[in-house]
Amino acid sequence: MTDRRASPPANPPPPTNGELARIFHEIGEMLEVKGELVFKNMAYHRAADAIAHWPEEIGRAYQEGRRPRIPGVGSAIEKKIEELVATGHLAFYDRLRAEVPPSLVALLEIPGVGPRTVKLLHETIGIESLEDLRRAAEAGHLRSLRGMTEKTEASILAGIEALARRGQRLLLSEAEAIVGTLQAELAGTPGLRSILPAGSFRRRRETIGDLDLLAETDDPAAIVSRLTGLPSVESVIGAGVHKASVRLLRGPQVDLMIVPPGEAGTYRIHFTGSREHNVRLRGMARDRGWSLSEKGYLRLGPDGEPLGEPGAELRTFPTEEAAYGFLGLSLIPPELREDRGEIEAALAGRLPALVRLEELRGDCHTHSDWSDGVHTIEQMAEAARRRGYAYQVLTDHSFSLAIARGLTVERVAEQRALVDALNARFAGEEATGTAPEASPPEGFRLLHGCELEIRADAALDFPDEVLAAFDVVVASVHVARRQPREQLMARVFAALRSPHVDILAHPAGRMIQGRDDLDLDWEAVYAEAARTGTCLEVNGSPHRLDLADLRARRAVELGCRLAIDSDAHRTGELDDVRWGVAVARRGWVEAPSVVNTWSRAELLAWVAAKPGRLAAAG
DNA sequence: GCCGTTTTCGGCCCGACTGTTTTCAGTCG
């Protein structure tokens, strides 16, 4: 039972940015179904997106009497935010919901059903829900409506079925596996010059809906027919001379776009997106007298319409770099194309030098079979060495995480002896020139660390004198994840403030499409991490990706250092660090902010410099 | 509903595919 003894707070907590964004998106959808002016709907969706991505809590700012200038939020939506913050309600929203039931809005999710269809169904035969629609379609009641036939009924039923079995979005790593398979299956098609991924996969979003492929080819029909004929295709959604769409068996929809040879520049930009990024580019093109589409830049006449023949002028480009250059922009890395300031940065020539996988010199978070890993310490170290790393930090769990067979103080001491012995061997091999070729000049060392459990009562699993003996300490929360924010913050602060904790691992504690984030006051976490000189992790495990992109960006803005780690539990997972790099790049992170791009000596000096540390024993 | 060193009003990104309404609307990306 919920504890109801506490009296209600005088001020209700303000809505979070996520809640505000959800409300304005929903308003946009309800207005769509109502048949409102399309630009009005768009305005609500645009404002909702801007709110969702805003770095500070807007509700709190309003409570404090501040009105951050958010692009896309004008006076009307500002007033609505005010009302929501002050009263917890929005009369306009409540009225709309009474008029357009949420179950009706949900029909928009059905593939092939848009706002006009929903409006028609509602107004003519009173459809209010998915179940209503299914029954009406099955009973053949839709064919009497304008523009609908038996075929429409069948396609709506198929859409409902597709919706029901439409799985969750793919993890980035799952998407990569499918893209790789498709590229291999389509390679060698006659006329095909290249087949490259685009869309949110290329932008490295953490989850992927549909997959987009671009085929640069002299023979469009051949590649379309090859794709639609693949045995892994469940159904063909559409197939023309410019594009084709299929759904894979137990897999995502795949959209294939045909690119004329030598004109890939604007095609790659267009189909990589994001939509918001493209809208900005088109606006810029229009301001300069051109209409931008995937085909290229089309010269506009004085009336703002494309010039007809003769005089029509289409400019195409073989590369993205040239196509961006036409607008005076430098090449924008795909990970940044979200209209989060990248266009302004490109105009000013101030795009960040995003961190690259090759710049990582070590991994600060790895496990072995001493706790919950699969491979031995030696196997893990050898795998890291073959990657060309200068170091790997072995961070098996501490004892209170019993489910992961966390190590006791005694086991830690035994483990250290093994680490020392391995390092002696590595040093010997480097001295005699028998180390792996990939070894860096500084050689490879296995550093001894731990993944220190932050317990439910905010106590840390090892005392300071034990912690002081580790090279690097990574701390994290695994248990009692649903505590109130105050308690969770106390635990995180306990770790950040310990002079012996160097890195806070997977700070949000989420599992993508599994577990929600810990309820933390993020601005306070970043501020304290920056103040104490504790590093925050970008965990590359494909279902974690934690910190997420926007958080990594905000943390660095507030002066935090990051570590990009694999959290590998087997040798093959060392490569997961590349997903962490992808997230960091989406977060505008540059190498100097990432501690594991530094040399081993620099890393160890940084660890030693944290104020208040006990000297390491012996 | 938002926005503006061209604009405080009149714009707001562009094209392919599908089905069917024999000339285009709806949906999607």
pLDDT tens digits for range A380-427: 999 999 999 999 999 999 999 988 889 999 999 999 999 999 999 999
Residues A23 and A79 grouped into a single domain: yes
Q: For A74-79, what is the mean pLDDT?
A: 92
For strand B, which residues in window 465-484 of chain A come within 7 Å by CB? none
Q: How far apart are CA A199 and CA A563, in angstroms?
A: 28
Q: List the A234 CA – B26 C1' distance (angstroms).
A: 25
Does A276 fall in a domain?
A: yes
Indicate yes or no: strand B within 7 A of the C-beta of A225: no
Residues A270 and A382 grouped into a single domain: no
Does A176 fall in a domain?
A: yes
Domain holding A232: CATH number?
3.30.460.10
Q: For A210-216, what is the mean pLDDT?
A: 95
Residues A386 and A343 grouped into a single domain: no
The first and second tokens of residue A396, run together, are 């098996």
DSSP string covering A112-178: T--HHHHHHHHHHH---SHHHHHHHHHTT-STTSTT--HHHHHHHHHHHHHHHH--PPEEHHHHHHH
> Which nucleotide minimizes the distance between its C1' and the CA of A285?
B13
Indicate yes or no: strand B within 7 A of the C-beta of A40: yes
Does A4 fall in a domain?
A: no
Residues A245 and A225 grouped into a single domain: yes
Q: For A364-388, what is the mean pLDDT?
A: 96
**The pLDDT value given to residue A17:** 86
- Tell me: the pLDDT tens digits for A143-179? 888 888 888 888 888 888 877 766 678 999 999 999 9
Residues A285 and A424 grouped into a single domain: no
**The pLDDT value given to residue A509:** 95
**Domain boundary, last residue among A213, A241, A261:** A261
**Domain boundary, last residue among A166, A199, A226:** A166
SS3 sequence of A585-601: HHCCCEHHHEHHHCCHH
- Nucleotide B6: nearest residue by CA–C1'? A287
The whole domain housing A338 covers: 265-348
Domain holding A585: CATH number?
3.20.20.140
Residues A368 and A471 grouped into a single domain: yes
Does A579 fall in a domain?
A: yes
**The pLDDT value given to residue A8:** 47
Map residue A476 onto helix, strand or coil.
strand
Positions in chain B where some atom is under 7 Å from a protein CB: 1-3, 6, 11-21, 25-29
Q: List the A77 CA – B7 C1' distance (angstroms).
A: 23
Indicate yes or no: strand B within 7 A of the C-beta of A73: yes
Across the beta sheet with A296-299, what order do the strands follow? A290-293, A296-299, A314-315
Residues A434 and A581 grouped into a single domain: yes
> Which nucleotide minimizes the distance between its C1' and the CA of A72?
B2
**Domain boundary, last residue among A237, A261, A285:** A261
For strand B, which residues in window 306-345 of chain A come within 7 Å by CB? 306
Does A612 fall in a domain?
A: yes
Residues A67 and A97 grouped into a single domain: yes
Q: For A529-541, what is the mean pLDDT?
A: 97
Residues A251 and A381 grouped into a single domain: no
Indicate yes or no: strand B within 7 A of the C-beta of A69: no
Helix (H) / strand (E) containing A217: strand A211-217
Does A9 fall in a domain?
A: no
Does A570 fall in a domain?
A: yes
State the total domains in chain A: 4
Does A531 fall in a domain?
A: yes
Q: List the A284 CA – B14 C1' distance (angstroms).
A: 14
Residue A537: strand pairing partners: A563
Indicate yes or no: strand B within 7 A of the C-beta of A79: no
Q: For A355-371, what is the mean pLDDT?
A: 97
Residues A276 and A253 grouped into a single domain: no
Residues A153 and A67 grouped into a single domain: yes
Residues A375 and A441 grouped into a single domain: yes
Q: What is the pTM of this model?
A: 0.87
How is residue A213 annotated by DSSP? E
Indicate yes or no: strand B within 7 A of the C-beta of A613: no
Q: Closest by alpha carbon to A18, among A537, A550, A441, A541?
A: A550
Q: For residue A293, which phi and psi values (nearest 5 degrees)?
A: -140, -175
Domain holding A288: CATH number?
3.30.210.10
How confident is the prediction for chain A on average, in pLDDT?
Answer: 91
> Which nucleotide minimizes the distance between its C1' and the CA of A296?
B14
For strand B, which residues in window 92-151 of chain A come within 7 Å by CB? 108, 110-118, 146-149, 151
Of all residues in chain A, the percent with pLDDT exceeding 70 is 96
